[in-house]
Amino acid sequence: MGAAVNARVFRDTYGVPHLQAGDPLALVYLQGVNAARDRAWQIELERRRYLGTSAAFLGAEAAAWDVFARQARLADTARRCFESLDDETREWVTAYVEGVNHGLPGGAARAPEFAETGLTLQEWEPWTPLGIWLAVHILFAGFPSKLWRTHVAAQLGEASLELFSSEGPHGAGSNGWLIPGSHTASGQAIVAGDPHRFIENPGVYQQVRLTCPEYDVLGLAVPGIPGLAHFGHTGSVAWSITNAMADYQDLYAEQLRRTGSGVEALGPDGWRPASFHAEVVEVAGAAPVEVEVIETDRGPIITHGPGGPEGPEGPEGPEGPEGTASVSLRYPPRVTGRLGFQVMRRLLRATSVGDVDAAFDEWVEPVNVVLAADTAGGLLHRTAGVVPRREPANMLRVVPAWDATYGWDGWHEMARAAVDGPAVMANARGLATPFGVEFAAPHRADRIRDLVEARDDWTVDGMPGIHQDTYLGSAGSLLDLLTGLGDLSPQAVALRTELFAWDRRMDATSTTASSYAAVRKALVSRLTDHFTMLENADVAAVFTPWMDPLTHVSYALENLLTTDLLPNVDVRWLAREALEEVAANSPRPPWAETHQLAPLHALRGPVFAANEMPLDLGLSGDHHCVMSTSSLPGLTDVCIRASAARYAWDLADRSASRWIVPLGASGVLGDPHHHDQLASWLRGALVPAVGPAVREDRTYSAAVDGFGTVRIEEADPARDLDLIHGWVTAERATYWGMGALSRDEIEATYRFLDSVPTHHVYVVRLDGVPVALLQTYDPQADPAGAAYAVEPGDLGVHLLIAPGDARAGFTGQLVGTLARFVFEHLGHPRIVVEPDIRNTRAIERFHRSGFTLGTEAKIVQPDGSTKTAQFAFLAREQVSP
pLDDT digits (tens, 9 = 90+) for 405-458: 999 999 999 999 999 999 999 999 999 999 999 899 999 999 999 999 999 999
278 and 232 within one domain: no
Rounded to whole angstroms, the Cα distance separating 354 from 643 reads 29
How much is the mean pLDDT over the chain?
92
Residue 854 reports pLDDT greater than 90: yes
Tell me if 28 sits within 8 A of 95, measured CB to CB. Answer: yes
Between the alpha carbon of residue 67 and those of residues 140, 256, 286, 531, 683, the distances in Å are: 18, 19, 15, 30, 40
Mean pLDDT of 645-672: 97
Between the alpha carbon of residue 705 and those of residues 637, 701, 774, 813, the distances in Å are: 58, 13, 22, 10
Tell me if 478 sits within 8 A of 519, measured CB to CB. Answer: yes
Residue 322 reports pLDDT greater than 70: no
Which residues have CB under 8 Å from 743's CB, separation 6+? 721, 725
254 and 240 within one domain: no
The mean-pLDDT minimum among 123-132, 516-525, 707-716 falls in: 707-716
Q: Report pLDDT for 860.
A: 81
228 and 360 within one domain: yes
The reply to whether 857 falls in a domain is: yes
Rounded to whole angstroms, the Cα distance separating 841 from 832 reads 17
Q: pLDDT category, 170, cuts 50, 70, 90?
A: very low
Reported pTM: 0.94
Q: How many domains does the chain have?
A: 5
Mean pLDDT of 132-161: 92
Q: At what angle do helices 571-584 and 490-501 cross, to 10 degrees?
A: 100
Tell me if 294 sits within 8 A of 240, measured CB to CB. Answer: no
710 and 571 within one domain: no
Tens of pLDDT, residues 11-62:
999 999 999 999 999 999 999 999 999 999 999 999 999 999 999 999 999 9
Last residue of a domain, one of 120, 142, 164: 142
365 and 326 within one domain: no
Residue 277 reports pLDDT greater than 80: yes
108 and 73 within one domain: yes
Q: What is the DSSP letter of 125?
A: P
What CATH number should be reported for the domain holding residue 737? 3.40.630.30
854 and 715 within one domain: yes
Q: pLDDT category, 507, cuts 50, 70, 90?
A: very high
Q: At what angle do helices 87-110 and 24-51 cross, to 10 degrees?
A: 70
748 and 732 within one domain: yes
Q: pLDDT category, 805, cuts 50, 70, 90?
A: low
Domain region containing 132: 2-142
864 and 807 within one domain: yes
Tens of pLDDT, residues 753-798:
888 889 999 999 999 999 999 999 999 888 899 899 998 889 999 9
Q: pLDDT category, 305, cuts 50, 70, 90?
A: low
Tell me if 308 sits within 8 A of 292, measured CB to CB. Answer: yes
The reply to whether 619 falls in a domain is: no
